[in-house]
Amino acid sequence: MTAVDDRMTGIFENLEVPEGFKAELIRGEIVMTAGPDMVHNIIVEAIRDQLPRARWHRLTTQDIDLPGLTSEPQPDLVVFERDTTEGHGRLVPAPLLTLVVEVVSKTSVLRDYQTKRELYAEGRIPAYLVVDPIKAVCVLLTEPSPAASSGLPDYVLQRTTKFGEQIPLDLLGVTLDTSEFRTYS
């Protein structure tokens, strides 16, 4: 990291975020967004409830550490095995993660489909699930590659599923039922 990166990280770590807002460090920029819609929260809850707690940590509002990148995103849900960490600190290291989930909002479309896709692939997170209540689809991305054909980090495999269909999450050993997912009004 450069001195500018270190300063930005320091500012971010000491930032006082107003209640009802969320702040993330994305490629050296602090991005602040309003709290999520109820449709968003119900989708996150529905996913979390389908992942066996006995095996997986299923955390919301958890910042992640992407080593070597000036980014500390806060996915809507992070999933990692229970025995992989002692549970210290504000950041979960990306190498511990098995799945990250982002639920698209009207203001996060580009960030969720492009910027975070690249970040999570570069961080080598095995699976990234984009849930889109605008289009009523889920996009499961797997097999991260540090440099895809475009020259940018990306995922090799992409599977798009409509709301109401099931999504096999092979890495977690579960099939996700999306029948409770709703679209924004």
- Residue 149's pLDDT is 65
- Residue 6's pLDDT is 64
- How confident is the model over 148-174, as pLDDT tens digits? 667 789 999 999 999 999 999 999 999
- How confident is the model over 51-71, as pLDDT tens digits? 999 999 999 989 999 988 888
pTM: 0.88
Give the distance from CA 66 to its chain's centroid: 12
178, burial (CB in 10 Å: exposed 0-12, middle 13-18, buried 19+)? buried
Q: Which of 55, 73, 77, 50 is nearest to 63 (CA)?
A: 73
Q: Which of 128, 91, 133 is nearest to 108 (CA)?
A: 133
**List of domains in the chain:** 36-177 (3.90.1570.10)
- How confident is the model over 1-32, as pLDDT tens digits? 444 466 666 777 777 877 777 877 888 777 87
- Residue 2's pLDDT is 47
The span from the CA of 100 to the CA of 16, in Å, is 25
- How confident is the model over 106-153, as pLDDT tens digits? 999 999 999 999 999 999 999 999 999 999 999 999 999 977 667 789
- Residue 23's pLDDT is 77
Sequence-distant contacts of 35-42: CB under 8 A, at least 24 apart: 36/76, 36/103, 36/105, 37/105, 37/184, 39/133, 39/182, 39/183, 39/184, 39/185, 40/76, 40/103, 40/105, 40/133, 42/180, 42/182
Q: Which of 37, 185, 31, 171 is nearest to 104 (CA)?
A: 37
